[in-house]
Amino acid sequence: MASLPLPDNFRAESVDINSSLSGLLCSDSNENSEKIVLWLHGGAFILGSSQSYRPFAARVTQASKAQVLLLDYALAPEHVFPAALNDVLSALDWLAERYSMNDVAIGGDSAGANLALAALQKRIADDKPVPASMWLISPYLDLTHSGGSIKERAGLDPFVDGASMAPTAATYLGDTDPTDPRASPLLASAHGIPPTLIQIGSEEVLFDDAVRLRDKITAAGGHAVFQEWAGMIHVWPIFSHAIEEGGWAISQGGNFLRQRWRRVG
């Protein structure tokens, strides 16, 4: 991913959130936006970086007309729960000092979606302002792995092996019980969650995580836009350089964020 070509107008600047946490602030030199998206990369809590997600961020900047902050949160096994979540909370505090939360959106794919939702739930519990919207791709939200689609769709998604999910999650959890709602945010309250776009592929073993989150947000009186993408596998938008559906999904995600920003003024 890090070796994919980038647009000529793409810019990425390293920023320090604190003494141990940094990221890449990405932008389109043709735009001068005061809006920003905090994007949390996937990788089962053990893989991924801001460098590898630059091509994806370039497309998000174009679609959303906003800056994108790619966070290099702490990875397991060197850093177990709640290190990554604490990093995301630090990044949100950093953004709150520099932007109105009405100008901020948060998003993530797979494990990054887990961190995005858990961080919002923590800020809501602490009575802190939250971003104007959230965009989740192929969210991995339940580390107890209770979703029926893990077995029902086994073999359909070549990107996720259901048999390896529990040991990989254990690497991230350390001594934490997977029922802890901070680690499995699907098990926590959905009250106060901002308008959310959920994109999931029809072939994904994590399909039920996405469905259950949609239902929880709706039941809590929130607004969730749910998109099931026919024939798509786990986190297909990161392959937007190769498949049209990836680019289409990013375009719709960007449109969702821009519509929300227009509504909050």
Which is the catalytic residue, given 50, 64, 203, 204?
204
Which is the catalytic residue, given 27, 49, 110, 133?
110
User: In sequence order, what are the residues at sequence separation of 6 or more whose Cβ sits closer than 8 angstroms to the Cβ of residue 97?
Assistant: none
Whether 78 is catalytic: no
Contact between 206 and 160 under an 8 Å Cβ cutoff? The reply is yes
Contact between 142 and 166 under an 8 Å Cβ cutoff? The reply is no
Whether 110 is catalytic: yes
Cβ atoms within 10 A of the Cβ of 252, count?
A: 17
Q: Using DSSP bridges, classify how beta strands 36-40 and 104-109 pair: parallel, antiparallel or unpaired.
A: parallel
Whether 29 is catalytic: no
Which is the catalytic residue, given 41, 79, 145, 234?
234
- Nearest Cα to Cα of residue 233 among 177, 169, 159: 159
- Whether the link from the prior residue into 167 is cis, omega within 30° of 0, is no
- Nearest Cα to Cα of residue 194 among 126, 128, 134: 134
What's the chain's length in residues?
265
Catalytic machinery residues: 110, 204, 234
